[in-house]
Structure 1
Amino acid sequence: MKNKKITKTNAMRMLDKQKRAYTIHEYAWSEDHLDALSVLEKMSQDAGAVYKTIVAVGDKTGVVVGVIPAQNELDLKAFAKVSGNKRIEMLPLKDLEATTGYIRGGCSPVGMKKAFPTYFSHHILDEKSVLVSGGKRGTQIEISPADLIAVAHAKVEKITQEKDE
């Protein structure tokens, strides 16, 4: 039986270059189910927490990246404050690939075209491992939070809306 060769993405190449350990998880995807909750359903519970990458634009800093648990929502007001902005809005989807080098459903916080200010939800500190997009649809990278934070040169902040708030 032949092993399937995995095409390396920018995210994987960056992790390899920095000698960070990670595991690749592949899953079947469809255009109708590219959201993080759909990915969460496809991944096994013991594979770690699935995180989604959100790209936004601040009125002062320009492009900023938020990485939050799949089941949470970004708190735009908190995200603006921690990133040094008064206002923040989502990057238009039509601009995602030109800005980051990634497409919807395959946007990784690692290996973007430029190093944008990146913020992880404080929830990441509670995880043993996390899953983020591997840089293409149908691929997730499982990695330790410490390695992911270091490679992304990220800050950890409270940027999600809590369910009880």
Structure 2
Amino acid sequence: MRMLDRAKIPFEAIEYEVDEADLSGVHIADSVGLPYDMVFKTLVAKGDKTGPVVFCIPVHKEIDLKKAAQTTNNKRVELLAVKELLPLTGYIRGGCSPIGMKKQFPTFFDQSAEGFEKITISAGTKGCQLLVNRHELTEFVGAKLCDLCK
């Protein structure tokens, strides 16, 4: 949130009750009362050529790793193990955001984000989502929009 404030990008913080038994994005979307297509989860992966890459897709969808590899000029992309997430990004599972990682990695949003003026992403902690202008967000993180889902 501090980074968005410094960049003068307006956002709305939406808090919700955390259910440690269900950290799914679908549960979060239900908790904040937004359509699944508007709520994006952040996935971190490793490409065999590029190293870490970040993908943001709607919470109810699955990433297509073949499409992800092709989009990132890798032969293979594998999702990062949960134990590797914190040391690499500074975020824990359920609170990973494309903003504010320890290092800025190549970032890709599913093209379905184009259908919305605003989308939500994690605020970087469990229990809070950020509603932000999609265009300003993707420009801020240098993200490309592409087909990532099955």
Q: TM-score, normalised by structure 1?
A: 0.88
Q: What are the within-5 Å matches in structure 2 for residues 73-152 of structure 1?
A: 73-152=62-141
Contact 1:128 1:144 in 2 (8 A): yes
- Gap regions ≥5 residues in structure 1: 1-11
Rounded Cα–Cα distance in structure 1 between residues aligned with 2:44 and 2:85:
8
Rounded Cα–Cα distance in structure 2 between residues aligned with 1:157 and 1:48:
15
Contact 1:27 1:138 in 2 (8 A): yes
2:56 counterpart of 1:67:
yes
Hey, what does 1:54 align to over in structure 2? 43
Contact 2:54 2:107 in 1 (8 A): yes
Rounded Cα–Cα distance in structure 2 between residues aligned with 1:26 and 1:45:
13
**Secondary structure, counterpart of 1:32 in structure 2:** coil
**Secondary structure, counterpart of 1:81 in structure 2:** helix
Deviations along 1:92-139, one digit per CA (max 9) or x if unpaired, are: 100101110110000001111000000000000001210100000000
Closer, same or farther: CA 123–48 of 1 in aligned 2, 3 Å: closer
Q: What amino acid does structure 2 have at the position aligned with 1:24?
A: A
Rounded Cα–Cα distance in structure 2 between residues aligned with 1:48 and 1:155:
18
Rounded Cα–Cα distance in structure 1 between residues aligned with 2:36 and 2:43:
21
- Gap regions ≥5 residues in structure 2: none
Rounded Cα–Cα distance in structure 2 between residues aligned with 1:138 and 1:128:
23
Q: TM-score, normalised by structure 2?
A: 0.96
Closer, same or farther: CA 46–96 of 1 in aligned 2, 3 Å: closer
Deviations along 1:62-91, one digit per CA (max 9) or x if unpaired, are: 000000011111010000001110001010
